[in-house]
Structure 1
Amino acid sequence: MLSLANDTFKLMFGETEIAITASIILPLFVFGVVGNIVTIIVIYRSPKLKSKFNYVIFSICFSDLISAMLSPLFLYRRTWGFLSWNLSDALCKIFWAGDNFTSVATSLHILLFAFFRLTSIMYPRWFKRITIKHVKLALIVVWVSSFGVGFILFVFMFGSRLINRHASNPERTWPSCIAYTERLGMLRMYSKVGYSIFFYIPMVLITVLSIRIVYVIYLRKIQRREAMKKKHQKENSQEQKQQKKEKKAVLQLSLIVGSFALGYIPHTAFHFVATTSKPKTQFDLHMQWWFGQLEYITLRISECLNPIFYNLASPKMRHETMALITKSGGRSNTPRNTTKPVCINTLDQNTV
């Protein structure tokens, strides 16, 4: 294989690669936008879904919606706009800053969701003291902090520029919408420190919280069985309902965490590799380009799966979603109730 240092510049993709990635990313773009808008509308319109947990899901959907709307810019940047970014410089900045902003926001949202779930199970009395206002305040903190560390920093680090494609230029294999040369040191530092703080540490915490939740529910299940054996009783309907709620809570959290890991482990891994390694051959360059495409596709799949997972884990949301789809433009079968929902058990009855 020829070394890139001695080889003339060649694009690492062709029309076939463009067609393949476009045929995947564009449908995911449409599904991501529609799916998250539908979920947002369903939670907003249905009084049955006005729970603390669903407010967090409502906010996550906005993050996923923004990310989905930015995906055509990624496709353009990595294909038709690779050699020359013919869109405005502002769109280049918005893509990079918006993509990182929503990634950080999603990570913090899921950490908040897992914390609320564990609190509701282990400390139900304390959790009842958390009001919708408290949840909204926490979400505002998530969005503001994500904007500060995710959006603003990337606006200053990235932009569109003409790149000299001569063999002597080390930047010749870069897309035209890329980090400024003088800010590469800052970007490398961010990929090491920032990704650890905003992705890997939350991922570890989310995993620990999830395992703790499953363990607590498992212990309670054993304790209930032992208590019933001593009293020679069978499970009553109330206990069976509680167990079903616990199973649905675990399922919902597991799906959300699994989707998060699917999207953001490859996403952060690629950016770390891209900022710390240099392809030595055309084949290496081609593989790195495909790595970038595949990690973004997994991110898009992850965010498209979220609305599906919300409905799979929640019969109430599934019912309201089907009512909206089948009665688009009409009224839902469920009468609207202007009264505020009341939390009556440790898992928040409107949660699942």
Structure 2
Amino acid sequence: MEGFITDWLNLALRWFHVIAAIAWIGESFYFVALDNSLKPPTDANQRKRGVFGELWHVHGGGFYNMQKYTVAPPEMPDDLHWSKWPSYTTWMSGFSLFFVLYLLSPTTYLIDTNVLDMGPVVAVAAALGFLAAGWIVYDSLCRVLGTNDRVLGVCVGIYVVIAAYLACHIFSGRAAYLIMGAMLATIMSANVFFVIIPGQRKMVAAMLKGETPNPIYGKRGKQRSVHNTYFTLPVVFAMLSNHYAMTYTNKYNWVVLLFIMLAGALIRQFFVMRHRGQVLWYLPLGGVALMFGALAWTLPKPVAPEAQAANAPKVTVADIAPVLQQRCVQCHSAHPTLMGSAPAGVLLDTPDEISQNAQRIYQQAVTLKAMPLGNVTHITDDERKKIAAWFEGGAAK
């Protein structure tokens, strides 16, 4: 029953998280596109009122005129939209999901003793510390180097490389990818909470007092917003990565992660520049090249089946069924004991089900060694070799 409740909680939180993320990313992408598409106003009166740029839209049968002021409008409107709640709900729902799936089961999801042998409490503390340190280091870089966008961008990029390396050498590969995404997402939401919104509040407060707002708050907010837009696609990949073990189980998984994250940033840059009227095809092509590079890096090396001894019996389903019964059906069963339901609907209760999933079993247990998760059922190398011999020998029934 506990696993069943956890699965439903997982479903509800994941659904809510995806909905909130769509709202936040959509709003963020729109404002970045708007900011990069603005044209100087042609009306002299608009320029006198402090309008920096404007953009006309036609959508849904109506015309819209979006305007941006150099600092602020002459008078504060009665109804002012604050772009914050999509960010906050995305982070809160994401952290709740991370708590339910990873922090409550650190032995299964966070720890890989082949990477770093640590206890559950240490693993949970390390994961939370990683998120907190991510923001602290990033924010410190922005405060120290914020006057030079180019230098700051390079330093933030170097920091992401270091963080990816550390994460993949502390946590299991699956957890490392997710924690890297969560770290960047924490930075993004913290930018909104600690910098962008407070700066906007100070600008509004100054206007209500009849004072001219300090433009530094707008500049800082825009700088953090630009960083957020480049983090977005890498974060989306990290959130999806747990479905693709060939990436995070690689020996150099941190390199694979960086390849794909950089590909996402380049593709995002293409659209940013396109909104400015520059079509730079080398950006998405570079992103695609990096994805192919990641594919080539993770491509499994073909392994020739070992020749069986002349009198060695052929390995059949009956031979590996006890291994799967002892190591795998705790999750992959019609009535699992470690989870509420079988992941991906893969059942291994009967010989027919085992044969139907032969390729998956070989891929996950032998080639990638991604299963069992965290090796909680302690499958041995000899048992993996037996599965390999069965599959490479034709997956005999």
TM-score range, shorter chain: 0.3 to 0.5
Between 1 and 2, higher relative CO (CA 8 Å, sep ≥ 6) is seen in: 1
Bigger Cα Rg: 2
Q: Between Structure 1 and Structure 2, which shows a larger proportion of helix residues? A: 1
What TM-score does the superposition give when structure 1 sets the normalisation length? 0.36
Report the TM-score when normalising by structure 2: 0.33
